[in-house]
Amino acid sequence: MDRFTGRRVLVTGGASGIGRATVLRLLAEGATVVTADVAADGLEETAELAGRAGTGERLTTGELDIADEQAVGAVVGDAIDRLGGLDVLVNAAGMLRGGHTHEFSLELWNRILAVNATGTFLVTRAALPALLDSGHGVIVNFSSTSASFAHPFLAAYSASKGAVEAFTHAIALEYSRQGLRAVSVKPGSVSSGITNHFTEFVPQDVDWSLFTKLLPAIGEGFAEPETVAGVVAMLASEDGKFITGTEIRIDGGTHA
């Protein structure tokens, strides 16, 4: 499949998990990709995997904290220059931390929203002129099932992902007449850099009985990141050309 031949793509969060799987999937379909992340070691691993797959020559990596406004402007600008424009933006970077809400520090609350919500805004804002210039720009943002379904001990994370959904709806309509599409994916019950370390992000005295639904209705457990990457590829390609201003839940029926 070569749905992305000639397409120029920027993916944040490409150092691990779903972000990495998305980078590799889009490269496999012919895209030229720039990916940015805070984790330099993870970016090196992503580049190595692309090299083994024979697609490494179309991948550029760079370090970026998406909550840093000046860094975002510089890195996104450099990515657009390298690519000669931009057709697709995938905002996959994010962070998860949990805790009892009455004990949660304002500093951590603000950091989670700064990365997940404000970071998505900053990268999108920097990329929008180039996406609009392409005439067929696509933005795929990462929300979460936590934006719509109760995930105890994850109040800040849930709030940030709800903000991403609302933001996506707004820009989808705002720029619709200029050919832009914007959509969110809502992963759940998917193995990733976040979920694989979930127990490290919640209180030691967590009441697991509050998580009434943890496993998907289909399959034999959590899905691999490639499952989400396939949906992202569909949404960002011409196969998703009539999908905008909405979100796609990918959770194997966990929240059916």
- The alpha-helical segments, DSSP class H, found in 36-139 are 40-52, 69-83, 106-113, 119-134
Boundaries of every domain in the chain: 8-105+112-144+158-193+222-250
Q: Could you tell me the pTM of the whole model? A: 0.95
Tokens of 179: 């050919």
Q: What mean pLDDT do residues 129-152 have?
A: 96
CA distance 17 to 244: 25
Per-residue confidence band for 196, with pLDDT thresholds at 50, 70 and 90: low
What residues are labeled active site?
157
Percent of the chain exceeding pLDDT 70 equals: 96
Of the pLDDT bands very low, low, confident and very high (cuts 50, 70, 90), residue 197 is low
Which is it for strands 138-142 and 181-187: parallel, antiparallel or unpaired? parallel
Instruction: Inform me whether the pLDDT recorded for 214 exceeds 80.
Output: no
Report yes or no: 7 and 39 within 8 Å, Cβ to Cβ. Answer: no
59-63, strands of its sheet edge to edge: 59-63, 32-37, 8-12, 88-91, 138-142, 181-187, 246-250
pLDDT at residue 213 tops 90: no
pLDDT exceeds cutoff 80 at 80: yes
What does residue 34 show for φ and ψ, rounded to 5 degrees?
-115, 130
pLDDT for the residue numbered 42: 98
**253 backbone φψ class: left, alpha, beta (φ>0; ψ -120 to 50):** left
CATH 3.40.50.720, domain 8-105+112-144+158-193+222-250, yes or no:
yes
Q: What is the DSSP letter of 190?
A: B
> Confidence class of residue 109 from pLDDT cuts 50, 70 and 90?
very high
Asked if residue 92 lies in contact with residue 22, where contact means CB atoms within 8 angstroms, the answer is yes
pLDDT of residue 206 exceeding 90? no
